[in-house]
Structure 1
Amino acid sequence: MEGAARVLEERGLDGYTTNAVAERAGVSIGSVYQYFPGKDALTAALVARETALLIEAVRAAPSAATPEDGFRRIVQACVAHQMARPRLALLLDREESRLQLADTLGSVAGDLTTALLALLALLALLGAGLPAEPETAAGDLFALVRGMVDAAGERGERDGEALERRVLRAVHGYLGLPQAVA
C-alpha cells in the first residue's frame, strides 16, 4: 500500500501503474495481483487506508469537552488529512470521483454528518439553539468544510493552521457562534 502511495505521489496518475507499484514495493507483479485484481482495486484500498484516520478522528469529535472543541477537532482532522500528504490527497480525491467509491465516500460523509448532528444537538442543549433543519445544517457544514479544505489542497496551500482558522471562522459564522480565538 505504501508503495502505491509513493508511486502516486512521485509519478502522478500517468506513472501510477501496477508494475511501478510492484517495483517500488520490491515485490513481483504477481504478488500485487494476488491481493488486488487491478489498479482500481489497489486505488480503492489506498483510499480506504488514507481515510481511516480521518474517520477515527471525526467519530471522536462529539466526545470533546465543548461543541466548539468538537467542531475544531473535525476541522483539524480534515485539514490534517489534506495536509499530511497533499499531492496524494489531491490525486486520491480525483480517483475517488472517477471510481465512484460510494462506500468510502459514504462512510466519511455519514460519519461526519453523524458527528456534526451530535455537536449541533449539544449546542442546543447548551442553549445555543438548534437550526430548524439540523440535517440540512449538518450537510451544509460538511460541504463548507470539505469545499474549503479541498479547494486549499487544489491551490497547493501548505499552511494548515491558517486553513484551520479560516474554516473555523466559516463554521462559527454559519452557526452564529462567537468567533474562535486564534
Structure 2
Amino acid sequence: MAADKASATPEKPRLQARKQPLQSRSAATVGVILEAAARILEERGLTGLNTNLVAQRAGVSIGSLYQYFPGKEALLAALIRDARAGLLEAVQQICTQGGLLSTQLRVLIRAAVHHQLHRPQLMRHLEYAELMLPLDQESAALNDALLNALQGVLMAHAVQEAEVTARDLIAISRGMIDSAGLAGESDAATLENRVWRAVSGYLSCAV
C-alpha cells in the first residue's frame, strides 16, 4: 500500500536548466529557444506550448533543447525569471537615481506598466504559469527586493511608515496594472496616468 501511495505522488516539475550556457554561441542558442517559446505562448497559449514545437520553431534539434531545458515547465520558469529579472533591474536602477519623489514614482510606474504591456499576451500566459509552478520562494524573494527598493526611496524622502507605505503602493500599482493586462488594455500612457492618480492620491492622504 505504501508503494502504491508513493507511485501515485505526482513528480515535481524540473524547473532548473540542465546546464548554463558558458560560451556566446550556446548563450545565443538558449536565447533563440526562449524567444521561440515566447512566440508560441503568444500565438497558442499554455496548452499549445511543447518542447518539440519550440525546437522546431527555434531551428534546433530536440536533443539540443534538452541539453538546457528538461521540459516545458523549465522553459516557462526561465521565461518568468527573465521577465522578473528585467523588472527588478529597472526598479533598482530607478530607485538609486535620486531626484524628486514624484518623478521617481512616475518613472517606477512607467517601468511596471511597460513590463506588463510591452508583450501583453506573453505576460498574461506567464502570470497563469506562475500559479502552476512551484516558484513561491522565488516570488517571495522578488517581492522582498521590490519592497526594499521602494522603501529606500520613501525613507530618503522622509516618508513616515515607509515600509507600510511601500507595501500599499506596490499593491495599488500591481492590482491596477495586472487587472489592465488581464482585460487586454494596450494604452500604456493612459494606464500609467491612472496608476499615478491612485498612487498620488494615497500619498496625499498618508503624509
TM-score when scaled to structure 2?
0.78
Q: CA deviation at 1:106?
A: 2.7
Q: Deviations over 1:24-72 (max 9, x none)?
A: 1011111111101111111111111122221111001222312212111
**Rounded Cα–Cα distance in structure 1 between residues aligned with 2:198 and 2:74:** 36
Deviation at 1:103, TM superposition (A): 4.3
**What is residue 123 of structure 1 aligned with on the other side?**
157
Identity %: 47
Q: Distance in 1 between matches of 2:132 and 2:169?
A: 24
CA radius of gyration, larger in: 2
Given the alignment of the two structures, is residue 39 of structure 1 paired with residue 72 of structure 2, yes or no? Answer: yes
CA distance in 1, matches of 2:160, 2:197: 19
Q: Greater shift after overlay, 158-167 or 49-58? A: 49-58
Deviation of the 1:123 alpha carbon: 2.3
CA–CA distance in structure 2, aligned partners of residues 100 and 140 of structure 1:
26
Equivalences for 1:10-89 in 2 at 5 Å? 10-62=43-95, 63-89=97-123
Aligned match of 2:19: none
What is the CA–CA distance in structure 1 between the aligned matches of 2:193 and 2:137, rounded to whole Å? 30
Which one of 152, 175, 181 corresponds to residue 153 of structure 1? 181
- Aligned positions, number: 171
Instruction: Note the residue ranges of structure 2 that are not aligned, 5 or more in a row.
Output: 1-33
Listed one character per residue, the Cα deviations across residues 1-39 of structure 1 (whole Å, up to 9, x for unaligned) are 101101111111111111111111011111111101111
The TM-score normalised by the length of structure 1 is 0.88
1:60 and 1:46 map into 2 onto residues whose CA distance is: 21
Greater Cα offset, 103-112 or 32-41:
103-112
Segments of 5+ residues of structure 1 without an aligned counterpart are: 178-182
Structure 1 residues 147 and 100: alpha-carbon distance in aligned structure 2, compared to 1, 3 A threshold = farther
CA RMSD of aligned residues (A): 1.5
Alpha-carbon contact 1:80-1:160 (below 8 Å) kept? yes
Which secondary structure does the structure 2 equivalent of 1:176 belong to? helix
Paired with 1:98 and 1:64, the residues of 2 have a C-alpha distance of 38
